[in-house]
Amino acid sequence: MRQIKLKNEYVSLTVLPEVGGLITSLKYVPKGIELLYKHREPRPFYEWREDYPRLDGVHSFFTGGWFEVLPNAGYATEYAGEKWGLHGETPYLPWEVELNGREENTIGLVVALRRYPLKLARKISLENNNIVFKEVIYNLAPVELYFSWLHHPTFGGEFVDEHLRLEIEPVEFVVDRELGLKYSELDLGYRGIWPYAKTRDDRMLDLRTYPKRGLNNTNDLIYLPRVRDGIFKLTNDALGLTFEAHWDPKVFPTLWIWRALGGGPEGPWYGTIYATSVEITTSWPATGLADQVSGGTAAKIGPNQSISTELRFAIMEGGRR
């Protein structure tokens, strides 16, 4: 498999274009710290032919890392005459590479969907300790289209432990109840203001914090339906390292937070995962595009139109003050 690496004195980033444009590694170079979770080694898609397509395909292919989802953020659904599996379709497609030798530490990636007339182009650049995504969605059809769009960075490794804290503005959140996560620690359907949530055993849990590895075997999904400032920070005080994200909340008004802290004793995790995702997205809940359209949270794009946006991420030294 072809790997493309961007690297400067602060950041090292590795992409597998032919495996869903997956970012497999994001390291802070001065300290040699990997920020992304690795569940297994990635494998080329052709090795999975006997297992594809499946409605839960991401679970088959999931290696960790950072992937991007379009047009169905969430679980299996049927919409516009198509059956979509979990997080279909961009994570399952090869992305084309566009390199411009005049732009240092920059890669262009483009994917045209095969079952929906959308195309996604993204340019990833390193600017000192910043990772910059400049992205455009194109509607290739003469009709209006609904879609959901999601960035799925899964953090783990030595970066995620009991010293990690997730900072988000104090906005309303909802604990998932539609999927009925069997091994949820939280009270399903609970609504509150970030960061305190009620657990199934009637405790109040600070969602900014994470338990020590091995203490939990739980799996939770939380939605922040409407963020205001488009910022989150993940800080590990013991490592003295912060990951900070900035994006346009007019394009991505919603956050999903996945707390995969063991994942439960059954499949697909069998207690083997310890990670968290803070997922920047257009829509909720994770029951798929059809529900998002009917619920009024799906994004839409006009006939033959495009939508452009920029996301900026920084890795910096220093803990909380």
pLDDT over threshold 80, residue 51: no
* Amino acid 50: pLDDT: 47
- Give me the pLDDT at residue 48, please: 59
Question: SS3 of 289, please?
Answer: helix
pLDDT of residue 56: 60
Q: Which helix (H) or strand (E) holds 262?
A: strand 254-262
Distance CA 16, CA 39 (A): 16
Question: Residue 238: pLDDT above 70?
Answer: yes
Burial class (CB in 10 A: 0-12, 13-18, 19+), 204: exposed
Cβ neighbours for 223, distance < 8 A, ≥ 6 positions apart: 173, 174, 175, 176, 254, 255, 256, 257, 284, 285, 286
Domain range for 175 is 4-317
- Residue 78's pLDDT is 93
Question: Looking at residue 321, what is its pLDDT?
Answer: 34
Segment 61-107, tens digit of pLDDT: 788 999 999 999 999 899 999 988 888 899 989 999 987 667 889 99
Total count of domains within the chain: 1
pLDDT digits (tens, 9 = 90+) for 161-195: 999 999 999 999 999 998 868 899 999 999 999 99
User: 110 pLDDT exceeds 70?
Assistant: yes
pLDDT value for 41: 86
In Å, how far are 99, 171, 267, 270, 288 from 162, measured between CA atoms? 40, 24, 25, 21, 32
At 135, which CATH number?
2.70.98.10
The answer on pLDDT for 44 being more than 80 is no
Task: Tell the residue number behind the tokens 């566009």, with chain if given.
Answer: 98
Distances in whole angstroms, Cα of residue 257 to Cα of each of 148, 151, 246, 303: 16, 11, 16, 32
